[in-house]
Amino acid sequence: MTAKTVFILNGPNLNLLGAREPAIYGRDTLGDIEAAATAKAGALGLTVDFRQSNNEGTLIDWVQEADAKAAGLIINPGGYTHTSVALLDALGAASIPKIELHLSNIHAREAFRRQSITAAAADGVIMGFGAAGYSLALEALKNLIDNPALK
């Protein structure tokens, strides 16, 4: 059986994980998260293409690439969650299963962070579990990939 590839896309400032507001985002670095996600994906029979960009256009290009090449997509849009109609449109155009992910519970944060524009195009949202959310998102995505009727 060939492993199915899933894209894990990370938005602005997530390259600063481990140093940026660890009381909110935890002490794991993005490299730590990538290593754990790669291991979890392998256990699920998946492979990951793990990326991070601070640029909205790059993330949009990667969503379109994922739709053409991957079995599913996990995205942590970072600050674009609350502002990017363009990213919403790209996610909406993608036909593969999609999970939106947040390290913190955005509903327990500042008022401007409580609205996710991009979630409307996701099949599900996982938030508030810190770095462990990536593992949970992989399990949920695997379920959607294996059971297309759930999408």
Residue 102 falls in the annotated catalytic set? yes
The pLDDT of residue 17 is 84
Among 25, 80, 82, 134, the one annotated catalytic: 25
The two structure tokens encoding residue 62: 């990667």
The CATH number linked to 113 is 3.40.50.9100
Tokens 């949009």 sit on residue: 60
Residues of the domain holding 71? 4-150
How many structural domains is the chain composed of?
1
Which residue shows structure tokens 């500042």?
110
pTM of the model: 0.93
Q: Give the N- to C-terminal CA distance of the chain in Å, as an integer.
A: 23
Of 51 and 17, the structure prediction assigns the larger pLDDT to 51
Establish whether 25 is a catalytic residue.
yes
- From the list 82, 102, 107, 134, the catalytic residue is 102
Work out the average pLDDT over 103-115.
Answer: 81
| pLDDT score for 2 | 63
